[in-house]
Amino acid sequence: MTIRFDNQVAIVTGAGGGLGKQHALELGRRGAKVVVNDLGGAVDGSGGSAAAAELVAEEICQGGGIAVANGASVTDLAAVETMVADTLSEWGRIDILVNNAGILRDKTFAKMELDNWHAVIDVHLTGSVNTTKTVWPIMVEQNYGRIVMTTSTSGLFGNFGQSNYGAAKLGLVGFMNTLRMEGAKYNIFTNSIAPVAATRMTLDLPGFEDSAEKLAPELVTPAVVFLCSDKAPNGRIVQAAGGRYYCADVRENEGVNLGSEATADDIEANIEAILDMSSNVGILERVPHR
């Protein structure tokens, strides 16, 4: 193992099963001290138990690693602050944060209750903000940090019945894009993983039938572990599906300069050129809008 995390401390949220469990186990194998965080609720976020997190922490320890379990909900800022304070008190630093916790409450937008909209946004987006906000000053002080957001193709490209989930997941990309700028001078690099994996969250989704082996969660973990390392890039979206690793990006084209007198009729006349992405410009290549 050339990538090691000896003397480093990692927090992985939603690590009681699925993707988060595999991330936590591999970080532990590679020498990191791991906080295995998981509320232990159902796929829709209801209920809660520390049992799943405790089993993963125990597995890491049985393998010769160091880990502790934590049952805080990422939506509970006070509980997150306590988790981070306890981690700092025990191990003195926090080097890695993998924001993986998530829930599903799928419905078409027309039928979706707003409570289900807010619940999904609160876990995926605000939950990631809570954890990141709490570890950020620690990473600034130690001049080092690696943060991984878990986005999704549902956010990047959309998915029927997942307006709440997709909005949260693309929101994480926007969050990442700003953190990559603000964190760079402190050697804090923030990236996103867009996984396609068979977990309990995908059991009832079309296209995931009989996919447990070919879309195993552990096939996503190599990309996440690399993004946690000191060789990680900054501000990139890495996709992972069944052993294939590829990149997504937010791009814009050169467009058409219609001047200050442009009208809607000018837009109509030039719409093909305005929408033509054959001469695209990467967002990383331009000055951000203010």
pLDDT number for residue 125? 98
Task: Evaluate whether residue 288 is within a structural domain.
Answer: no
* Same domain membership, residue 45 and residue 26: yes
Are residue 158 and residue 62 in the same domain, yes or no?
yes
CA angle in degrees (0–180, nearest 5) for 119-122-123: 90
Write the DSSP string, 265-278.
HHHHHHHHHHH--T
Q: Which domain holds residue 70?
A: 9-249
Claim to verify: residue 90 and residue 190 sit in the same structural domain = yes
- Is the same domain home to 121 and 258? no
pLDDT of residue 280: 66
| Cα distance between residue 240 and residue 245, in whole Å | 5
Q: Which of 144, 165, 245, 246 is an active site residue?
A: 165
Length of the chain: 290
CA distance 69 to 233: 29
Q: Do both 31 and 156 map to the same domain?
A: yes
Q: pLDDT averaged over consecutive 10-residue blocks of the chain (290 residues)?
A: 96 96 98 96 69 97 98 98 98 98 96 98 98 98 98 95 97 98 98 82 50 79 98 97 94 94 98 90 47
> Is residue 102 domain-resident?
yes
Cα dihedral value 25, 86, 79, 140, nearest 10:
-80
Q: Are residues 257 and 237 in the same domain?
A: no
Amino acid (one-letter) located at 40: G
Nearest partner of 125 among 59, 176, 184, judged by Cα: 176
Task: Answer yes or no: do 97 and 25 share one domain.
Answer: yes
Whether 1 maps to a domain, the answer reads no
**Whole-angstrom Cα distance, residue 78 to residue 241?**
35
Domain count for the chain, please give it: 2
241 and 271, same structural domain? no
Residue 199 lies in a domain: yes
Rounded distance between C-alpha atoms, residue 290 and residue 285, angstroms: 15
Q: How many CA atoms lie within 13 A of 142 on its CB side?
A: 16
Q: In angstroms, rounded to a whole number, what is the distance separating the alpha carbons of residues 182 and 190?
A: 10
| 165 among known catalytic residues | yes
Other CB atoms within 10 A of residue 33 CB: 26
3 belongs to a structural domain? no
In a domain, 2, yes or no: no
Is residue 205 a part of any domain in this protein? yes
Q: What is the pLDDT of residue 68?
A: 98
- 């609720």: which residue's tokens? 41
Q: Is residue 26, in this structure, part of any structural domain at all?
A: yes
